[in-house]
Chain A
Amino acid sequence: MAERLTVLLSRMQGGDRLARDAVFAAAYQELHRLAHFRLRDGGRNTVLNTTALVHDSYLRLVQSGELKIEDRRAFFGYASQVMRSVIVDSARARLAERRGGKVQKMTLSPELAQDIGQDEEGIVKVHEALLELEAADARAAQIVQMRYFGGYGNEEIAETLNIAPRTVQRDWEKAKVMLWAILKSA
C-alpha cells in the first residue's frame, strides 16, 4: 500500500490527474478513520483536534512541499469534505437512534454513534445551513467547511484558498453571521 502510494504521489507530482484521483481514493478510508477517532471524543476535549491528526497521519506526506500547490489545496479541501460527511452521518445516526427509529441507513457502529456528543441536531443544522450558504457565497462556505468540520486553522485555509489569512478570518466572521441568520430563519 505504502509503495503504491509513493508511486502514485510521484505520478501526481508529474501532473497525472488520474493518479491524483487514485491518491484521494486511497486517502478516503484513512480520512474516514481519522474522523471517527475524533468523534469518539465527541467534543469533550480537544486533544484529538484535526490538525494534529492530519499532521500525525500519512496526510503529512501529502502536505509535504513536494506536492504541487494545487494538489495540496485540493487535498485539504477534500479532507475537510470527508470529515464533514463522516461527522454529519454520525450525528444523523445518533439522532435516529435517539428517536428510536432506524430511519437512517447506518453505516456506523452503534458504539460510535453514542459518542458523538450532545449537539447532533445542531451539527446537522449547521451542515444544512452550509448547503444554503454554498449557493450564496462559496468561499465563505468553504472556509466554514474547512474550519468547522475539517478543523484546519486560518493559515492552512489561507494557503488552500490562495488568500491572505486575514481574509480568511474576515470571511469566517461573515460566514458566522450568515449561518446564524440562516439557522434563525429556518
Chain B
Amino acid sequence: MKLSTDQLSRMSRLLEDAIDLDATQRKMWLEALASEDQDLKEALRHGLLGPGEAGADPLSLPVCACLPDDATGLKVGDRVGPYLLTRELGHGGMARVWLAARVDGAVKREVALKIPWVGTPRQGLAHRFALERDILARLEHPNIARLYDAGATQQGVPYLALEFVAGKSLLAWADERRLGIRERIELFLQVLGAVQYAHECGVLHRDLKPSNVLVTDSGQVRLLDFGVAKLLQPQSESGLTRVYGRAFTPEYASPEHIQGDPLLPGSDVYSLGVMLYELLVGSRPHRIKATDSARLLEKAANRPPADRPSTRLGPEAGTTRATPQKTLARQLRGDLDAIVLKALAAVPDERYGSAAALADDLRRHLKGEPVTARPAYLSYRFTRFIRRHRTGVANTAAAVAVAAVAGSYLSSTVTERTPPVSAALGDRPIAVLPFVALPTGDGSTAQGVSFARDVSVALARTLANFAWRTIAVPDVEIQTDPAEIQRLGRKLNVNYLVSGNFRHADDQIRVDMQIMDANTGTQIWADRVETPEAKAARFPDLVLLRTTAVLRRAIYKVTADRIAGTPPQGLNPSEMVILADETEDQDAKVRLYLEAMHRDPDLVPALVGWADRLRSLEASVAENERNLQQADDLSMRAIRLAPNDADAWYVRGWILWHQDRYDAAITANAKAIDLDPSYAKSYVARGLYTISIGQPEAALPALDRARDIDSTVDGIASRTACRAFLSMGRYDEAVQNCERAMATDESVFAHVYLTAAYAQKGDMARAAESRARLLQLRPSLTLETLRGHSNKSDAKRFREQWDKHVIAGLRTAGIPER
C-alpha cells in the first residue's frame, strides 16, 4: 500500500525521536508507538532495525556514481590497466595517487599510479595521452622523476604511471636538516638544472611547487609531474572549463597563469621564484587563499610587488636554518633579495629569461661575483671585488695598490656588464619556434612542432656549455612583421628567434631556416638544407642533425659578427671563446683563450678550446709532450666541471689518440657522439681512431656519416677515407678520396697519402708530381719522421698496414729514408 504524504510527514516527525537511539532503544521505542501511528510500525521497523532479526542491515540505495562515501571506489588489490594497486599514497586536487606494481610484463616495477579526478572525455583521450606521453617520456634527467606510461583502462579511466620516488618535500627536507642559506641554494640549483633541461625539450612544468619537488635521503632532488598538469587539463570545447578548470596552485602560479594567458618558460621561472623565496625565508611572497579564485583572477594583474625576502624572515627561520636571525637577514640582503625579486617580476620580460639564467646568478652569488639582478653601481661592484679579494685587501699596506687594481677592474667590468654587448649572450636564451611543415595539414603541423622541439634539444646539447641556452616554444605563431617579432622577443625574453619550415620537393626534404634578431625584429641569417628523401629514409635523424649542424655554425657566426670589433675589455669570457674559435688569426686565438681562462678559470669552453689548440700545435718533441700533458690536464678538468659536455669529450678523445691510447680515445669520442650526435667532426675522429686500431673498413661508415651531416667536413673526412682505403690496399678509391680532399683541404697528410697511393698504383708520373708538392710544403720530410708511431700492441695491425701501404709507397715515390 502506497504511503500518503500525510503518513510520510508523520513518519518524519516520529523519526526525529527515534533516529538517535541505539538498536535496543529503538526496539523499545517501536513497542511504545502510539496507537494512531501503528500504520507506520512495519515500515519503521524495517527502516530502523532492518529486515532480519540479525538486524544492522544498513539501508542501501542503488549505487549511483555520485555517492561520495557509500559507493565502491578503487581499493588495494584492484587492477587499473596493467597495474595492481598496492596502497594509497595520497590525493590532491587533481588526482589520487596509488603505489602500484605492474603485473602483466616481465618488469616488476613499482610505480606511482596517478588517477585523475577530472573525467576527460573518452573520445580522443587515448590519442592525446599517447602524444603527450611520448613527449614526457623523453624527459630523461637525473633530477626528474620518469613518466613510464600513460593510458586509459578499457573503461576509460585515465592513468599515469610515474616513477615512484621515496623522498621528502623540498621545504621539509631543508628544514629537517637545518640547512643554511648556501646549502639551500645548492639544493635549489638541482631543481633549476632539471627545469632548464625540460624547457630545452619544450616541456613546461606548469605546476611547480615544493610538494612537487622531492629530495631523497641521499640529497638528490626529484621533480615530479613534469607537464602532467597539461595532460590532466580537460580538453573541452567549453570555454568555462578551459579557463577555470586549469590545474594550478594559486600560491605558486604566475600572474599570467592565473589570468589564463598562454604559458611560457618564464611562467615556470616565476613559480621557481616563489619556491626559492619560501625555501630561503620560510614564507611565501604573497598570501593567497586557495578558494579565493574570483578575487585572485581580478587582482592577479595588479598584485603588489613582493617584500624583500630579508624583511620576511619568520621567527622560526633561524632555528631551521641553524643560523642566527641577524646573520640570516644579512646573508639575504642585497644579492639574494635582488635575485628572488627578479624571478618574481610581475611582467615576464623583467624576469630571468630561463631557469639557467637564474641558476647562473645564484652561482655568481655563491662565488661572490656580481649578479645580473643588481644594477651596475660602482659601489656595489667594488664591494664584490673586495669580498672576493679579501686576503689582499686585509693587508692595509697594500691598500693603495689594491685601490689602483680595483680601479682598473671596475672600469673594465662595468663596460663588460653593460648591455647590449654582453646581451649578445647574456642571460637571454635562444628561442626555437615551431618549424612549419609545408604544405600544412593537421598531421604536418604536429610534425613541425615536434621537429622544432627536436632541433631545440639538439641545439641545447650542442651549445650547452656556452652562455647560450635554448628554449623550445611550441605554442606560438610564427611572425613575419618586425614589430611582432620584437614583441614576441620581449615576451619570451630572448635575443634570437630561430624558425623555419620544411617541405618535400623533388624527392628532397628541404629545410629552410632563419635566425631573427629579437631586438630589431629583422632576419639576420637564413639558409637551406636539402636532403634526398631516400637518404633521409635510411638515416632517420639525418635531416635533424644536418639542420642542427648548420644552425650551430650560424649561431656562432652571428654572435661572432655581432661582437667582432669590440675591444677585449668589452667582451665577457664566453664571447672571447667564441671569437677565439672563429678567428683564423692564431695569435689572437691564443690571446683570447688565455684571457678568457684568466677571467673565468672554470669556463669549460675555454679550457676545451685551449686544450684542443695545445694538442694540435706542432713543435719539438719535448715541447709537444709538455703541451700534450697540459692539454690532458685541461681536458680532465673540463670533464670534471662539465661531465656532459660533448666538446670536452671530443677533445679528450684527440688527446688520448695523440698519446696512442686508441681504445680509450674511441670510448671518449663515442661519449661525445652520444652527447651531441650533430657534431660531424666526431665521426671523422671515430674513423681515424678505427683506422688506428687496424680496422680501416670499419672507419668508412663513420666517415660517410660525417659527410652526410655536415658538408663542411668533406675535406678532412675524404682525407681520412683516403687513409682508410690506402690501409686496405684499395689504391684507386684512395686516390679518388684524396683528390676530393684536395678541393678543400690541402694539408701535408693529404699529399702524403696521395703520393703513396699513386706510387702503389704504379702511376709514377703523378707520384713524382705529388712528391714534389709534398717536399715543397715539408722539405724536411723523411720516412723516418713518418714512422714515429706507437709500439703498443693494439697498434700492431695498423703499423703493419702503414708500413706495407704508406711507407712502401712513399719509398717507391722516392721520399728519402732519413
Contact = CB atoms under 8 A, between A and B. Distances in A.
Interface in A110-146: 116-119, 121-123, 125-126, 132-133, 135-137, 140
A1 B241 CA distance: 10
Given A38-B119, A49-B117, A122-B62, A5 B3 contact: no
B20 A170 contact: yes
B203 to A, nearest CB: 22
B121 A178 contact: no
B66 A87 contact: yes
Given A57-B241, A136-B12, A119 B66 contact: no
A147 interface: yes
Interface stretch (B69-77, B356-364, B420-428): B69-77
Contacts of B236: 33
A87 B65 CA distance: 9
Nearest to B245: A57
Interface string A80-114: 00010001000000000000000000000000000
Contacts of A63: 291
A60 B66 contact: no
Nearest to A62: B294
A158 to B, nearest CB: 14
Q: Which of A133, A174, A179 is packed against the most chain B CB atoms within 10 Å?
A: A174
B74 A46 contact: yes
B118 A125 contact: no
B305 interface: no
Contacts of B74: 45-47
Interface in B258-317: 260, 289, 291-295, 297-298
Contacts of A179: 59, 61
B293 A49 contact: no
Given A1-B239, A119-B63, A58 B244 contact: yes
A148 B93 contact: no
Nearest to A30: B240
A126 B60 CA distance: 11
A42 B122 CA distance: 14
Contact of B119 (A6, A37, A87): A37
B315 to A, nearest CB: 29
A176 B12 contact: no
Q: Main SS of chain B's interface residues?
A: loop
A6 B47 contact: no
A181 B19 contact: no
A53 B117 contact: yes
B493 to A, nearest CB: 27
Interface string A16-59: 00000000001101100110011111111111111111011111
Given A46-B73, A57-B245, A64-B295, A181 B46 contact: yes
Interface in B416-434: none
A152 B9 CA distance: 25
B806 to A, nearest CB: 73
Nearest to A67: B294
Contacts of A2: 239-240, 242-244, 260
A65 B291 contact: yes
Nearest to A120: B62
Contact of B15 (A1, A57, A178, A184): A178
B8 A136 contact: yes
A184 B8 CA distance: 13
A137 B12 contact: yes
Contacts of B567: none
Contact of B238 (A33, A117, A119, A133): A33
B296 to A, nearest CB: 8
Contact of A53 (B2, B71, B119): B119
Contacts of A151: 66-68
Interface in A148-162: 148-153
B467 interface: no
Nearest to A5: B240
Nearest to B43: A181
B218 interface: no
A38 B118 CA distance: 9
B116 A66 contact: no
Nearest to B50: A180
Which of A41, A87, A153, A180 has its CB near the most chain B CB atoms (within 10 A)? Answer: A180
B588 to A, nearest CB: 59
Interface residues of A, number: 78
Interface centre among A33, A66, A117, A177, by most chain B C-beta atoms within 10 angstroms, is A177
Nearest to B237: A33
A116 B156 CA distance: 13
B238 to A, nearest CB: 6
Contact of A180 (B46, B65, B73, B245): B46
A122 B292 contact: no
B119 A49 contact: no
A117 B63 contact: yes
A118 B242 CA distance: 32
A136 B5 CA distance: 5
A45 B1 CA distance: 36
A185 B3 contact: yes
Contacts of A38: 65-66, 119
Contacts of B566: none
Given A6-B298, A133-B8, A185-B1, A123 B62 contact: yes
A126 B62 CA distance: 8
B391 interface: no
B755 to A, nearest CB: 77
Interface string B219-241: 00000000000000000101111
B16 interface: yes
A40 B119 contact: yes
B11, B96, B289 interface centre (most CB from chain A within 10 Å):
B11
A56 B247 contact: yes
Contacts of B47: 176-178, 180-181
A170 B19 contact: yes
A121 to B, nearest CB: 8
Contact of B61 (A83, A116, A133, A148): A148
Contact of B68 (A27, A51, A65, A174): A51
Contacts of A136: 5-6, 8-9, 11-12
Interface of A: 1-2, 5-6, 9-10, 26-27, 29-30, 33-34, 37-53, 55-61, 63-67, 83, 87, 116-119, 121-123, 125-126, 132-133, 135-137, 140, 147-153, 170, 173-174, 176-182, 184-186
Given A83-B66, A147-B67, A151-B68, 12 more contacts: A2-B239, A37-B120, A38-B66, A41-B119, A43-B64, A56-B93, A64-B292, A66-B295, A117-B63, A176-B59, A178-B47, A186-B2
- 6 nearest A-B residue pairs (beta carbon): A122-B62, A37-B119, A58-B244, A177-B47, A136-B8, A1-B239
27 contacts: A30-B241, A33-B238, A33-B241, A41-B155, A43-B64, A45-B155, A46-B68, A49-B67, A49-B68, A50-B66, A57-B244, A58-B245, A61-B297, A67-B294, A117-B64, A117-B65, A118-B63, A133-B8, A135-B5, A136-B8, A136-B9, A176-B59, A176-B61, A180-B59, A181-B40, A185-B2, A185-B43
